[in-house]
Structure 1
Amino acid sequence: MDQLSIHVQLTNHPKEKPAFDQLSFGTVFTDHMFTMDYTEGKGWHDAKVVPYKPITLDPAAIVFHYGQTVFEGLKAYVTQEDEVLLFRPDENMKRLNRSNERLCMPAFDEELALAGLRKLIQIDKDWIPNVEGTSLYIRPFIFATQPYLGVAPSKTYRFMIILSPVGAYYKEGINPVRIAVESEFVRAVKGGTGSAKTAGNYAGAMKAQEVAEAKGYSQVLWLDGKEHKYIEEVGAMNVFFKINGEVVTPSLNGSILEGITRKSVIELLQHWDIPVTERQISMEELFEAYESGLLEEAFGTGTAAVISPIGELFWQDKKLVVNHGEIGELSKKIYDTMTGIQTGKLPDPFEWRMKVEL
């Protein structure tokens, strides 16, 4: 199915656009949204772009009671030549389908979803901010709609994409953040839903973040749910450490989300011939590297922030100040290169960008 198969209904009441130099994250939404529905026996149908508006669901809809919902996050950028670029959107759609599979939800046509996204961006192109550091955040999501209180997969679903012009994710910007190593709560365990991008993972993580923020920390560093000693993620991001010249990131183990930015950073480091290893790493090993002066940099990676340098880790009443609390040389190089590729300011030797024809 191509874009000609996507019905379009334009709004009669366009919204006032915000000042692009005063954007926060995820509070303003564009004029339109993409939707399509799934019915068992019929498959996905009724793909359309319609005015952004509230949705109506039966109070017994399965999503409210058993949490059958998955989502993604990616961005669109406008270049200095007024071209619109997406960053690896095919990878996001693949991961969304992997999340679907884990939650017993039906697979969708990834090409149709990308066509719907392109059509939506074409319609709302004037919402893409052109101020340095801004972008158009894209949120595809799918949820169960069948009204049923029995514990079973839904027979009906809705797929939606909404758009939001955004500024920087962290108020600190690219400056290093302070992170508390979580000692009580866990994000996910192997065999659970940690490798899927589903709402419950984030709801369950909020308590630990709330406690950390009350102590003056931006986020938490998650440890594994079994032995509570191996590093997994930082907040809602993947995490990397530069130790004695080698970059180490926790290997995918069934409880860690396979980040698109994570994958891109690994490929970028390999392209630069910088040693990068995916393996299990304990908090004890990291502390020993810090004590030995070998922990050189630490940073999180994710769509929203791209790169978030870690300036301090708080673990067992000890403060590990990384690189004097300043952004590391490699972290800055990765950030500048990734954002340069995303915004069209730098060449794209990896063919990560997808141009949206306007």
Structure 2
Amino acid sequence: MADASVPSFKAADLVIELSSTPKNKQDEVTFGNNFTDHMLTVDWSASEGWQAPLIKPFGNLSLHPACSSLHYGIQLFEGLKAFRGDDNQLRLFRPMLNMSRMSNTAKRACLPAFDQSEFLECIRRLVEIDQDWVPHSDSGSLYIRPTFLGTEQSLGIKKPAHALLYVILCRVGSYFNSGAESLSLWADPKYTRAWKGGTGNYKMGGNYGCSLFAQYEAEDHGCQQVLWLYGEDHQITEAGTMNIFLHWINEDGEEELATPPLDGIILPGVTRQSILELTRKWGEFKVTERYLTMSQLCSALKQLRVKGVFGSGTACLICPIGHIVYQGENLHVPCQDKKSQLASRIAKELTDIKYGRTASDWTFLV
């Protein structure tokens, strides 16, 4: 339901300009390269407020050279997907969680508020228009990238008086193209992804750009991603751009699925929240949000108490982790048989919901 207390654009005012030159739709694509025919844009200014939302042919943006998003990183984004079910119905997975997270990030970035339900309806219309781009396959989907920029046309660090909210879509397959069944991580405390009081729990572009240097150093060490550590006790925080889960027999002899808590340095992932809710509903083992350190993980690996480690996120869903390079050691993380592996079971249950094979109020019909 729309929130009348928030000054916002309205989906009822949506203007639609259809493309006269549709693109070719490639079946096999690199993640993030094959964009659809249309995009959604909504302009805002402090003097005039929100303008009518516009769906128009996909194209370049025109930005002033002094644009505040370019100079000061006043920018944020979201990521969600549309899935084509076995019944040919298109579904979004828990999109209001993305809308809420985007709204929270916008507030932190001093960008204007918007009505989350109205924005979601505009996104639904965009996906509906470009629905032919959604693959007829449960190995592919349509990636949705809402983006919010400060477009202040002057230099100086200040709250933007102009902003642009827009959405682009692209057809995607697998996020990781290595062909490996599990990922390898490089853990070195000299790099920090986020810190207390910072913006690590918000989805800002700057959180990702500053991680590139460490990512390439991880590759120099023969690893695919970075295992981000924090503090003198080397707390485990995230794996690359994923939330991380540890499935083990804990120090008290209990079977446990654990993930770091949302304490300001962890991104509140939609997949992360869904995994916690799903496994707690099973009631088969302990499910906790608590601090985990490399010392605890190393001890558990030596004592053969680790059942598995995996990352989660919208782009990859679930990704098992097989090796961690830490302080000169190559730590082997056990991966169970695929049929019994917890990560595979979770992935199947979430996939069945997304593609409509399991009825759930977690899906939003397009």
- TM-score band, normalised by shorter chain: over 0.9
**TM-score w.r.t. structure 1 length?**
0.95
Q: Is the 8 A contact 2:320 2:335 kept in 1?
A: no
Letter in 2 for 1:81: D
1:36-66 Cα shifts (integer Å, max 9, x gaps): 0111143222211010000110000101110
Match of 1:169 among 172, 175, 181: 175
Partner of 1:75: 81
Deviation at 1:313, TM superposition (A): 1.1
**Is the deviation greater in 105-114 or in 85-94?**
105-114
Give how far 1:123 is off.
0.6
Tell me which amino acid in the other structure corresponds to 1:248: A
Deviation, structure 1 residue 173: 5.7
Aligned residue number for residue 96 of structure 2: 90
Secondary structure class of the residue paired with 1:46: coil
Identity %: 38
Q: CA deviation at 1:277?
A: 0.5
Specify the alignment match of 1:28 in structure 2: 34
Provide the residue aligned with 2:133 in structure 1: 127
Query: How far apart, CA to CA, are the structure 1 residues paired with 2:330 and 2:314?
Result: 28
**Does structure 2 conserve the Cα–Cα contact (< 8 Å) formed by 1:84 and 1:355?**
yes
Give per-residue Cα distances to partners, 1:275-333, cap 9 Å, x unaligned.
11001111101111111111110000000000011011111111221115875610110
**Residues 1:140 and 2:146 aligned together:** yes
The 5 A counterparts of 1:1-358 are 3-18=11-26, 20=27, 22-172=28-178, 175-224=181-230, 226-227=231-232, 229-244=234-249, 245-273=255-283, 274-323=285-334, 329-348=341-360, 351-356=361-366
Asked if structure 2 preserves the Cα contact closer than 8 Å seen for 1:174 and 1:308, the reply is no
Partner amino acid, structure 1, of 2:264: G
1:228 offset after TM fit, Å? 5.6
Q: TM-score normalised to the size of structure 2? A: 0.93
Following TM superposition, by how much is the alpha carbon of 1:336 offset from its aligned partner in structure 2, in angstroms? Answer: 0.8
What are the Cα deviations for residues 117-146 of structure 1, in whole angstroms up to 9, with x where unaligned?
011011100011112310000000100111
Distance 2:138 2:257 in 1: 29
The answer to whether the 8 A contact 1:7-1:49 is kept is yes
**Secondary structure of the residue that 2:142 maps to in structure 1?**
strand
Q: How many residues align?
A: 351
**Is the Cα contact below 8 Å between 1:311 and 1:325 reproduced in 2?**
no
Shift in Å, 1:115: 1.0
SS of residue paired to 1:16 = coil
Aligned partner of 2:265: which letter?
Answer: S
- Partners of 2:34 and 2:331 lie apart in 1 by 37
Deviation at 1:105, TM superposition (A): 1.3
Matching residue's letter, 2:236? I
Contact 1:234 1:300 in 2 (8 A): yes
What secondary structure, in the 3-state scheme, does the structure 1 residue paired with 2:112 have? Answer: coil
Distance 1:277 1:194, change over 3 A: same
Quick check: 154-163 or 173-182, which moved more?
173-182
For 1:95 and 1:173, locate their aligned partners in 2 and report how far apart those are by CA, in whole Å: 32
CA distance in 1, matches of 2:327, 2:179: 27
**Alignment root-mean-square deviation, CA:** 1.5
Distance in structure 1 (CA, Å) of the matches to 2:130 and 2:241:
28
- Residue 196 of structure 1, CA deviation: 0.7
| Larger displacement relative to structure 2 (247-256 or 173-182) | 173-182
For residue 215 of structure 1, report the CA deviation from its aligned partner. Answer: 2.3
Question: Is there any run of 5+ residues in structure 1 with no aligned partner, and where?
Answer: none
Partners of 1:304 and 1:248 in 2: how far apart? 21
